[in-house]
């Protein structure tokens, strides 16, 4: 019987060393030569695409025109000032001919719309923002749709909004699926554990991005911590002893 317990102890120790999540598997911003090394890339501001929606507000000192614009927005309902960019890259704005905004940054689109309004309202000022400024998370990272409330949202900030990655998430193969208007979506795959991800092309999250974290293939055999694994071993040994008590001649 002593040999049985010796074997159980050896197997338990070996399993404990290989069946729990360690820093090398789940730690972020690691500086290791065996991890991918990504090149730095300049930040590029987001450019409006087909199917994006914008909201805007026109300010003018002309009270008559201001009332007309206000009545037009209120009369069409809650989302009257939300306008979608069509497949040709243009939006239909009341009182204006179609304005092309696809391919422009928010500031460029704001300037373009201001110039268009000033052709009919000389003192018009326009404030424009993107309406559907969100990203989506799927997989082992608490799935959901989240709003982007700043210009430069990093991958770490985005995942922190979801409550961080689950231990079972495959950090070696995180994917970002990024729409590109009428073109095929771009798929970016990267190892989020490496420190070199900072300022790389994988570092920032853009509107409409879908972040997908698949489940690690080996997660089925792993425990969240050594304490949980020890509890599993203890309960298994207790069950084994109980069973052996019912087998004649074992003791």
Tens-place pLDDT, residues 153-193: 999 999 999 887 888 889 999 999 999 888 899 999 999 99
Q: What is the predicted pLDDT for the residue at 219? A: 47
pTM, full prediction: 0.75
Task: Report the C-alpha gap between 103 and 124 in whole angstroms.
Answer: 24
Q: What is the predicted pLDDT for the residue at 75? A: 44
Q: Output the DSSP codes for 37-75.
A: -PPP---------TT-EEEEEEE-S-HHHHHHHHHHHHH
What does the CA dihedral 207, 143, 211, 200 come to, rounded to 10 degrees?
90
- Residue bearing tokens 């025109």: 65
Percent of the chain with pLDDT over 90: 55
What is the tens place of the pLDDT at every residue in 98-129? 999 999 999 999 999 999 999 999 999 999 99
Q: What is the predicted pLDDT for the residue at 114? A: 96
Question: For residue 193, what are its two tokens?
Answer: 């554990």
pLDDT at position 231 over 60? no
Task: Report the C-alpha gap between 51 and 110 in whole angstroms.
Answer: 17
Give 79's pLDDT tier (boundaries 50, 70, 90): very low
**Mutual orientation of helices 2-18 and 226-245 as an angle, nearest 10°?**
160
Q: What is the predicted pLDDT for the residue at 194? A: 96
């Amino acid at each position: 019987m002593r040999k049985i317990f010796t074997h159980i102890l050896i197997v338990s120790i070996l399993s404990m060393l290989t069946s729990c999540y360690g820093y090398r598997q789940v730690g972020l911003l690691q500086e290791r030569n065996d991890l991918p090394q990504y090149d730095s890339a300049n930040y590029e501001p987001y450019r409006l695409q087909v199917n994006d929606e914008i909201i805007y507000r026109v300010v003018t000192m002309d009270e008559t025109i201001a009332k007309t614009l206000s009545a037009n927005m209120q009369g069409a309902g809650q989302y009257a000032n939300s306008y979608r960019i069509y497949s040709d890259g243009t939006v239909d704005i009341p009182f204006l001919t179609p304005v092309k905004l696809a391919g422009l940054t928010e500031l460029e689109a704001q300037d373009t719309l201001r110039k268009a309004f000033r052709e009919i309202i000389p003192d018009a000022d326009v404030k424009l923002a993107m309406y559907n400024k969100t990203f989506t998370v799927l997989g082992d990272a608490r799935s959901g749709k989240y709003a982007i409330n700043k210009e430069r949202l990093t991958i770490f900030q985005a995942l922190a909004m979801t409550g961080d990655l689950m231990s079972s998430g495959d950090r070696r193969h995180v994917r970002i699926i990024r729409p590109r208007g009428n073109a095929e979506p771009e798929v970016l795959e990267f190892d989020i554990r490496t420190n070199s991800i900072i300022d790389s092309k994988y570092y920032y999250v853009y509107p409409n991005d879908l972040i997908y974290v698949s489940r690690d293939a080996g997660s089925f055999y792993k425990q969240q911590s050594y304490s949980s694994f020890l509890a599993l071993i203890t309960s298994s040994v207790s069950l084994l002893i109980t069973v052996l008590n019912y087998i004649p001649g074992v003791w």
